Amino acid sequence: MTDLLLTEPVTLYGSNISYFTGKMENYFRVRGVSYDLRSMQFPAFKKRMAKKVGVMQMPAVILPDGRWMTDTTRMIDWFEQRLPGPGLMPADPLQRFLCLLLEDWADEWWWRPAMHYRWHYAEGARFASWHLAEELLGGVPGPVGLKRLYLQQRQRAGYTTGDGMCADNVVAVEAGVARLLATLQSIFSARPFLFGDRPSLADIGFSGPFFRHLALDPVPLEIIRQQAPAVLEWVARLWNTRLSDCASVWDNGIPEDVFSLLDDIGSGYLPYLCANTEAVADNKRRFDVQLDGVHYRGARCSRYRVWCLQQLRLHFMSMPEAAQEQGRTLLERHGCWESLWRHACLPLLPGQEEELPFRAHNKMLAVHQ
């Protein structure tokens, strides 16, 4: 693929407290791509973006040649294939697959707890609703209090209480975050990035839940300060790292402490993807599921996440045979294998998401479906 020559900054439309905008900013900074962050102004931006790429979601990237892009996973993949120099993907096929798996997990699974901490606690909801009302809805006539109420209700109905969170599972969901923090605390006490001295796609993936949410919103930030200061250091380190200054390569093999992340993927995320697949196949809009002892009632169906599961399978199958064998043993040992392949046939729509990053068919979760 020809090297991409960017003589002007790309435009990044989003919000400076948004999960996926924050992920894309971390990517651009680490990769040395200059960008110009602009806030989306509603309602005009919504129509404009939907016309350009098919959906309205944050962020949108506009290339200097005027092309619009969406979906951080596919955008990053697009840039990685075109930007010069060693990038964020390890050469070792199994490390590479694990980076893709961790990125997907960070995008899709940690979204709900991150939204929970922001919108469940009054402190978080006060901060975020004020910020978003001013930043995104400043041009909409009406009192700011009403806008804040609207935003709070929309986000809860779409992503927390409307996506399987309830009074009964708050403690267990927060315990899952504490488990993640404990593992990451021990990883980042041992080395600067997930796979060694150099950031990889997995670090960029985890900047989604951490940079603009868990390490920003008041309640989880205090938990991280007290319980996982090495994670806070990693958040700032990633933000302040340029890949071009990193001489070193990733460590060889898979660091042992990454295995407990795989255990969690095997007991929570992959079974969730299976339950979502079944619900989409049955044309449901919501489903109940018990994962790792946590009961989610009325979780939202996601066509996009059926595609995510398919992508994980394709990434696995694209590895050379020896790496697949090694990968299978590893995934079996950590409870990830059976659920990765449980449903032979995935209910994808014809051509689903094939035009990404220039056109999307589905939002990650359609709030008003």
Ligand X SMILES: N[C@@H](CCC(=O)N[C@@H](CS)C(=O)NCC(=O)O)C(=O)O
Give the interface with ligand X as residue ranges (CB under 6 A): 18-20, 57-58, 71-73, 107, 363-364, 367
Distances (CA, A) of 348 to 6, 127, 268: 35, 38, 22
Q: How far apart are CA 337 and CA 70, in angstroms?
A: 30
Instruction: Give the dihedral sign, CA 13/160/219/264.
Output: negative
| Three-state secondary structure readout of 286-353 | EEEEEECCEEEEEEECCHHHHHHHHHHHHHHHCCCHHHHHHHHHHHHHCCCHHHHHCCCCCCCCCCCC
Q: How far apart are CA 301 and CA 276, in angstroms?
A: 6
Nearer to ligand X, 256 or 368 (CB): 368
| Smallest distance, ligand X to C-beta of residue 364, A | 4
Nearer to ligand X, 57 or 129 (CB): 57
Nearer to ligand X, 254 or 366 (CB): 366
| Smallest distance, ligand X to C-beta of residue 171, A | 26
Nearer to ligand X, 21 or 267 (CB): 21
Nearer to ligand X, 92 or 103 (CB): 103
| Smallest distance, ligand X to C-beta of residue 84, A | 24
| Smallest distance, ligand X to C-beta of residue 230, A | 26
Nearer to ligand X, 22 or 196 (CB): 22
Q: How far apart are the first and last CA of the chain?
A: 38
The beta strands (E) that lie in the chain are given as 10-14, 35-39, 60-62, 68-70, 286-291, 294-300
| Smallest distance, ligand X to C-beta of residue 304, A | 6
Written as six digits, the tokens of 206 are 């985890």
DSSP state of 360: -
| Smallest distance, ligand X to C-beta of residue 155, A | 8
Nearer to ligand X, 60 or 262 (CB): 60
**Residue 72 CB partners (closer than 8 Å, separation 6+):** 20, 23, 24, 27, 59, 107, 208
| Smallest distance, ligand X to C-beta of residue 320, A | 28
